[in-house]
């Protein structure tokens, strides 16, 4: 390979290396105890390499490396680069489904208990994950008897405060009703903290406290109160029964097991807190190289715990195989927890039995994943190849960008850019544009493509693509630490429309001197594919997987554009309804909309209710009422 380093130029020191493609994008990051030995293995016998490693090497156009002093530094730098560059060939553990968590929003003035999925938010305590949302709701319903914490949405909470009446849960004593000041913010926060303590495993003190209060109530002949306390104790015990006791009461551990084949691996984790299984979660991963179970475990531990809070870290991590650099991994995890973390393989007893149970779950998870994905992988590969053949491309379009314009009779013109890589949506790289031209869809497409690729040329110049060795940041902005927005070019640009739209996109690329990006248009009426300058469309079979992929890309761009257009139009409508109120400036317009939520609710409000908004006096409130009432039908 032309980019193979010269003999003797690679140091024998430990370090971290990066493979880049022809555009300077980092596509793989790895670490090695000996950089020379590790990198030479890539260039020794190409035919003996793992299929995905072969694909990575044929995609790569260069390799560089950084020497480090210790294995811990190598682990830290490797993870840092993987997070920074998001290389497409690195091991990435993906949830095999979206697991629900029980969340307590401790960052709010009045914490709320709710079911949450997706990315974790700062200031929120999480418990789980659980296999089913109904399992969370059953547990919460039992615990609200003892810890009546708010569960309602912000809108319901605010509305109850405005009308002075709590919701149904407040009347049946499953909410302490902080919305109507039945409890102070401090008292409600204390309830939320007790709820979190119970869910965190500190259960015995609450049951003992309630038992003591029940006996005291019975001794004082307060039998109704004693009966309620008895029911509260039974509710807590039923909640505990839903979490199986598997280990000693003081055991806090994450139990991690693997199941793998030559191409993929599945990971299952059981979260044990206070000796009880508090949650379960699974991941799947594509294997890039011939990877040992210990290396998979090492990558998983780094990705799973790298950004975990100290209180979320367990005292013990039980694994199916020790990482190759187990001492370095243990040191990193201990630093993260700010206390000792033991990483070990259970050898006997209850912990080994639990590991076998987790392994069975991992095997079942991998089997189910392969059933779901077998056709998906084949289909996506077939679709990309069909597109390449239909458009006469040199290679399959691994990165596709699609653009759509949305407006209402020429007003509030916006455009969307969606990105698909390897046939899958990459939503983190979606972009949207407020279009300046008013000359129709063709001119709008020309403007948007010009803006997007002008930014690409600027980013390429900023990253020093012509001399990648001089730029350690590549497509990463050194000021923000995030990928530059338009740093990567697509293989194929798809525009929503026919020949004129495709020609406008091609003209924009020609004006910028970009000649290595293919362009096509997809017309909605007959689902015809148009190439720039052609009088006749490319007709792809209606059952073609390639056409189906182009349709999905186009429909996603249309959805994203419509969403942006509606939000922009809604904002314009809200603001314009208040524009006619004399003496009402932008700040007070925003304050009114924040307080009432919509112009319709503001129109139904009285002058006295409007005066409750800070900055609105009686006279301007009367003007608002008279103006909006005059507008109403």
Q: Note the pLDDT tens digit of each residue in 284-294.
A: 887 766 778 88
Which phi and psi angles does 437 have, rounded to 5°?
A: -70, 150
pLDDT at 449: 93
Which phi and psi angles does 396 have, rounded to 5°?
A: -65, 140
Please list the residue range(s) of the chain that carry CATH number 1.10.150.20. Answer: 578-629
Which phi and psi angles does 67 have, rounded to 5°?
A: -85, 140
Q: Note the pLDDT tens digit of each residue in 205-249.
A: 777 888 888 888 888 888 887 888 888 787 777 666 555 555 666
Please list the residue range(s) of the chain that carry CATH number 3.40.1440.10. Answer: 7-85
Q: Note the pLDDT tens digit of each residue in 411-440.
A: 678 889 999 988 888 888 899 888 888 788
Task: Round to the nearest angstrom and report the end-to-end CA distance of the chain.
Answer: 74
Tell me how far apart the alpha carbons of residues 147 and 210 are, in angstroms, rounded to a whole number: 12
Tell me how far apart the alpha carbons of residues 471 and 456 are, in angstroms, rounded to a whole number: 17
Q: β-strands 253-260, 316-319: how paired?
A: parallel
Please list the residue range(s) of the chain that carry CATH number 3.30.420.340. Answer: 392-463+485-567
Distances (CA, A) of 481 to 29, 85, 372, 430, 475: 17, 10, 36, 18, 10
pLDDT greater than 80 at residue 185: yes
pLDDT at 209: 81
Query: What fold is seen in the domain 7-85?
Result: GIY-YIG endonuclease (3.40.1440)
pLDDT at 408: 67
Query: What fold is seen in the domain 253-373?
Result: Nucleotidyltransferase; domain 5 (3.30.420)
Tell me how far apart the alpha carbons of residues 302 and 360 are, in angstroms, rounded to a whole number: 24
- Looking from the CA of 375 toward its CB, the CA atoms found within 13 Å total 4
Tell me how far apart the alpha carbons of residues 341 and 126 are, in angstroms, rounded to a whole number: 21
Domain range 578-629, CATH architecture: Orthogonal Bundle (1.10)
Which 3 state secondary structure label does DSSP give 431?
Answer: strand
pLDDT greater than 90 at residue 493: yes
Q: Which two tokens stand for residue 61?
A: 């156009």
- What angle (nearest 5°) sits at the alpha carbon of residue 6, between those of residues 4 and 11? 100
> Predicted confidence band at 580 (pLDDT cuts at 50, 70, 90)?
low
- Give the mean pLDDT of the chain: 81
Tally of CB atoms within 10 A around 427: 10
CATH class of 392-463+485-567: alpha beta
Q: Among 173-177, 348-352, 492-496, 534-538, which range has the highest average pLDDT?
A: 492-496
Residue 116 is inside which H or E element, if any?
strand 113-116
> Predicted confidence band at 518 (pLDDT cuts at 50, 70, 90)?
very high
> Predicted confidence band at 577 (pLDDT cuts at 50, 70, 90)?
low
């Amino acid at each position: 390979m032309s980019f193979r380093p010269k003999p003797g130029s690679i140091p024998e020191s430990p370090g971290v290396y990066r493979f880049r493609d022809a555009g300077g994008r980092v596509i793989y990051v790895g670490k090695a105890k000996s950089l020379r030995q590790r990198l030479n293995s890539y260039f020794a016998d190409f035919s003996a390499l793992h299929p995905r490693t072969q694909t990575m090497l044929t995609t790569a156009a260069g390799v560089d490396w950084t020497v480090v002093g210790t294995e811990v530094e190598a682990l830290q730098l490797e993870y840092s680069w993987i997070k920074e560059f998001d290389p497409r060939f690195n091991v990435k553990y993906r949830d095999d489904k979206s697991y629900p968590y029980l969340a307590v929003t401790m960052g709010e003035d009045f914490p709320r208990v709710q079911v949450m999925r997706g990315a974790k938010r700062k200031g929120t305590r999480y418990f789980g994950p659980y296999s089913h949302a109904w399992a969370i709701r059953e547990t919460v319903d039992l615990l609200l008897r003892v810890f009546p914490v708010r569960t309602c949405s912000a809108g319901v909470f605010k509305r109850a405060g405005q009308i002075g009446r709590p919701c149904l849960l407040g009347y049946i004593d499953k909410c302490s009703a902080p919305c109507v000041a039945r409890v102070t913010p401090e008292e409600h926060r204390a309830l939320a903290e007790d709820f979190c303590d119970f869910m965190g495993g500190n259960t015995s003190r609450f049951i003992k406290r309630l038992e003591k209060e029940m006996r005291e109530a019975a001794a004082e002949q307060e039998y109704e109160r004693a009966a309620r306390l008895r029911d509260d104790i039974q509710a807590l015990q039923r909640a505990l029964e839903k979490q199986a006791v598997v280990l000693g009461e003081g055991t806090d551990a994450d139990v991690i097991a693997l199941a793998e084949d030559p191409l993929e691996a599945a990971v299952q984790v059981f979260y044990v807190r206070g000796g009880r299984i508090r949650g379960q979660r699974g991941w799947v991963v594509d294997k890039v190289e011939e990877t040992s179970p210990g290396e998979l475990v090492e990558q998983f531990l780094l990705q799973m715990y790298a950004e975990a809070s100290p209180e979320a870290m367990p005292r013990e991590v039980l694994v199916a195989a020790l990482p190759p650099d187990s001492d370095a991994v243990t040191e990193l995890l201990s630093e993260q927890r700010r206390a000792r973390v033991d990483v070990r393989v259970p050898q006997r007893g209850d912990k080994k039995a639990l590991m076998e149970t987790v392994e069975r779950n991992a095997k079942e998870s991998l089997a189910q994943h392969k059933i779901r994905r077998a056709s998906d992988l084949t289909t996506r590969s077939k679709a990309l190849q069909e597109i390449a053949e239909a458009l006469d491309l040199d290679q399959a379009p691994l990165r596709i960008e699609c653009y759509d314009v949305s407006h209402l009779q020429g007003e509030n013109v916006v455009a969307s850019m969606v990105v698909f890589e390897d046939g899958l949506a990459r939503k983190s790289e979606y972009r949207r544009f407020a279009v300046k031209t008013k000359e129709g869809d063709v001119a709008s497409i020309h403007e948007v493509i010009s803006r997007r690729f002008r930014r690409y040329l600027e980013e390429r110049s900023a990253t020093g693509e012509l001399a990648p060795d001089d730029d350690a940041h590549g497509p990463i902005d050194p000021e923000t630490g995030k990928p530059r927005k338009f740093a990567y070019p697509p293989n194929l640009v798809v525009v929503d429309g026919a020949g004129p739209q495709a020609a406008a996109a091609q003209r924009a690329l020609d004006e910028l001197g970009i000649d290595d990006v293919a362009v096509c248009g997809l017309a909605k009426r007959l689902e015809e594919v148009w190439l720039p300058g052609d009088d006749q469309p490319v007709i792809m079979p209606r059952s073609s997987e390639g056409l189906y992929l182009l349709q999905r890309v186009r429909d996603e761009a249309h959805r994203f554009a419509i969403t942006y257009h509606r939000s922009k139009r809604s904002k314009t409508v809200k603001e314009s309804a208040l524009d006619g109120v004399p003496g009402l400036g932008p700040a007070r317009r925003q304050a009114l909309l924040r307080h009432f939520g919509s112009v319709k609710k503001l129109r139904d409000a009285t002058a006295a209710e409007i005066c409750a908004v800070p900055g609105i006096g009686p006279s301007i409130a009367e003007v608002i009422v008279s103006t909006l009432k005059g507008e109403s039908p």
